């Protein structure tokens, strides 16, 4: 599935199953909540925090997909074409960082 197809799929789901988009502010708050869930799981799985019983059944891929879902909702609501935005962002990073990371002693 392309990014554009994902945006279209989410929009179709919202319009048929979800009734309507939540407000942009509500979706921003939901995005922060979902990112927090990914962070909590990362801290437990890869960091020093121990798992709580309620965390043991949580799926990292599913939590990341929740983040992507809400981000796509916000892009759709605000008229952002994520395919174009991502291409421009990659170009920016490539131009800006073409030598930066290669010359970083910390990465060698």
Q: Walk along the chain (108 residues) and give the pLDDT tens digit of each residue.
A: 999 999 999 999 999 999 999 999 999 999 999 999 999 999 999 999 898 887 778 899 999 999 999 999 999 999 999 999 999 999 999 999 888 888 888 888
Query: What is residue 103's DSSP assignment?
Result: T
Question: Which residue, among 77, 82, 88, has the nearest Cα to 5 in the 3D structure?
Answer: 82
- For residues 10 and 65, the answer to whether their CB atoms sit within 8 Å is no
Count, in order, helices (H) and strands (E) of the chain. 4, 0
Secondary structure (H, E, C), 22-68: CCHHHHHHHHHHHHHHHHHHHHHHCCCCCCCHHHCCCCHHHHHHHHH
Structural domains in the chain, sorted by start = 3-82 (1.10.287.1080)
Please tell me the distance from the alpha carbon of residue 67 to that of residue 65, in angstroms, as a whole number.
Answer: 5
pTM over 0.85: yes
- For residues 63 and 44, the answer to whether their CB atoms sit within 8 Å is no
């Amino acid at each position: 599935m392309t990014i554009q197809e994902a945006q279209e799929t989410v929009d179709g789901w919202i319009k048929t199953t979800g009734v309507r988009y939540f407000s942009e502010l509500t979706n921003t708050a939901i995005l922060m909540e979902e990112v927090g869930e990914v962070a909590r799981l990362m801290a437990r799985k890869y960091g020093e925090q121990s798992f709580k019983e309620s965390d043991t059944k949580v799926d990292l891929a599913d939590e990341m997909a929740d983040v992507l879902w809400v981000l796509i909702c916000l892009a759709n609501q605000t008229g952002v074409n994520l395919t174009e935005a991502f291409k421009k962002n990659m170009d920016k990073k490539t131009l800006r960082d073409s030598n930066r990371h290669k010359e970083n002693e910390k990465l060698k």
